[in-house]
Amino acid sequence: MIDFIYLASQSPRRKQLLEQWGVRCELLLPDASEDAESLEVVNKGESPTAYVQRVTGLKLLASLDRLRRRGLPPAPVLCADTTVALGRRILGKPEDAAEASRMLADLAGRRHRVLTAVSVGLPGARRDRTWAALSASWVTFEPLSGVQIRRYVASGEPMGKAGAYGIQGRAGLWVSHISGSYSGIMGLPAHETAQVLQAAGVQLI
């Protein structure tokens, strides 16, 4: 029986969610020699759905290679990626406060999608086995004033988050409606994650 997994994500929220679900995980993070940021570059004309699935698949391949390179005990590896989309426009992690402010101004008073792709890989002697799932949710923000946006950006919370906000934080006060997976909007959809982990042999409830 598999009693732990590797989590190839720096997101503390994903680790917290897994622990809440009773999944024991060990971090499998990139080392200094890896260019992890390059995996998140958007291809020209790429749709948000295709983008988030492709990036998650690339992260999984890199993580399985990392596992072998470090000579670690074999166990399922879980990767995920979240993006915010306004139509076909992809809103990733803001590079600075100005970009975060622009993203939030665009989201204010509008409905947008949050896409989270999840993939699990099980290393094998001959070939790796992989499973993948996608969660799509809708989020509606109330109209926001410039003062609200400036205060939120000044808090530092938008940085490092797709779409420049985290629903589990202060920005949750602006959300008037969601349709889909709350945990998926946080970065790891419960139902889809359970499906891919169980397919890989991880015992859940």
C-alpha 126/C-alpha 48 separation (Å) is: 33
CB neighbours of 56 closer than 8 A, spacing ≥ 6? 79, 80, 81, 117, 118, 119, 132
Q: Report CA-CA distances (Å) from 113 to 107, 139, 149, 164.
A: 10, 6, 20, 13
Catalytic residue among 3, 35, 65, 81: 81
Q: How far apart are the first and last CA of the chain?
A: 14
Residue 31: active-site member: no
Which residue bears the tokens 């570059």? 41
C-alpha 35/C-alpha 7 separation (Å) is: 18
C-alpha 11/C-alpha 94 separation (Å) is: 16
Collapsing DSSP to helix, strand or coil, 121 comes out as strand
Please list the active-site residues: 81
